[in-house]
Amino acid sequence: MDYYIGLDIGGTKISVVLSNEKCEILHKIKFYTKSEFEDNFQLIIDAINELKTKCSEEIVSIGISAGGPLDSERGIFISPTHLPSWHGVNIKKRVEDVFNIPTFLENDANACALAEYYYGNGKNSKNFAFLTFGTGLGAGLILNGELYKGSNDQAGEIGHVRIAEDGPFCYGKFGSVESYCCGAGISLLHEKLTNQKLSAKEIFDKAEKEHDFLALETVKESSKKLGLTLSILIDLLALDCIVIGSIYSRSQEIIDRFMLDVIDNEILDINKGLCDIKPSLLMENLGDIAAITVAQRGLR
């Protein structure tokens, strides 16, 4: 039996997991992200050492999933938005120097795309996209059965695309996809309507459970812009499947109510019925399985 370790590195929390070759999570250690890289690195080393004691065989490889920008080939962080102290860190080399185990780094959207492609709702797709739709909105792309990363490892930054002249300021501009389709953007949209600052989860709860009119208006605007974004991806790439995580996975029914009509009106007639739109199958385990998938795929 082969064993793998996965690191899901976020701006708020870091998860370190042990998995077998079937991508079953056997043990997990989780802690809050510290402000300084070296403090985090020591906690990561301690967690890996503890997980190594939990299995009888050697660890085959280590996979790391983290928010970008990053250079996945060299294993280097490049000004990551939510991890400023990690800039310039060669995490691949640092981990390999300590453990002498092959280590691989991948952008979290790409890692999640691979996880859904191999183990989730992207199975049997040839041209597939995974959208994060959480803290931010990025896309991992599987085109013709291969992960597509572009010429500089930065393909899939659909959240940066401007789709309106106004809208909240997110991802460096007003009116970006993230202005409407990420946690921060949804919160800012609602604040503009109500002068009340709520999280995206609170807004969706008010819309779904309390039928609050202004919360529902916020959800409607976000969902329609998500529909426009998916229409662009479908027509541009002729995708056969899109899987969406986080917010969509939790609130698919209410989002679909407004999103699907936009897609039907926007896309080419020839593309209607081409693309299945699904929530993440892996749900709360997605980040962990994504990191393990990076470890497994790195050895192929």
Query: 115 lies in a domain?
Result: no
CATH code at position 257: 3.30.420.40
Q: Over 90: is that where the pLDDT of 79 sits?
A: no
DSSP 3-state of 35: coil
Which residues span the domain enclosing 183?
A: 121-281
Number of domains in the chain: 2
Asked if 268 and 156 sit in the same domain, the reply is: yes
Q: Are 276 and 242 in contact (CB under 8 A)?
A: yes
Asked if 46 and 133 sit in the same domain, the reply is: no
Average pLDDT estimate for 92-117: 97
Question: Using one digit for the tens of pLDDT, what is the confidence trace for 191-221?
Answer: 999 999 999 999 999 999 999 999 999 999 9
Cβ-based neighbours of 70, under 8 Å, separated by 6 or more: 76, 77, 78, 80, 105, 107, 153
Rounding to the nearest 10 degrees, give the CA dihedral for residues 218, 220, 224, 230. Answer: 90
Asked if 144 and 267 sit in the same domain, the reply is: yes
Q: Over 80: is that where the pLDDT of 117 sits?
A: yes
Asked if 126 and 275 sit in the same domain, the reply is: yes
Query: 114 lies in a domain?
Result: no
Query: 228 lies in a domain?
Result: yes
Query: 113 lies in a domain?
Result: no
Asked if 37 and 131 sit in the same domain, the reply is: no
What angle do the packed helices 200-209 and 183-194 form, to 10 degrees?
A: 60
Query: 19 lies in a domain?
Result: yes
State the pLDDT at residue 298.
83
Q: Over 80: is that where the pLDDT of 6 sits?
A: yes
Asked if 80 and 144 sit in the same domain, the reply is: no
State the pLDDT at residue 274.
95
Q: Over 90: is that where the pLDDT of 82 sits?
A: no
Query: 71 lies in a domain?
Result: yes
pLDDT band at 164 (very low <50, low <70, confident <90, very high): very high
pLDDT band at 29 (very low <50, low <70, confident <90, very high): very high
pTM of the model: 0.93
Asked if 134 and 275 sit in the same domain, the reply is: yes
Q: Over 90: is that where the pLDDT of 162 sits?
A: yes
State the pLDDT at residue 88.
96
Q: Over 80: is that where the pLDDT of 299 sits?
A: no
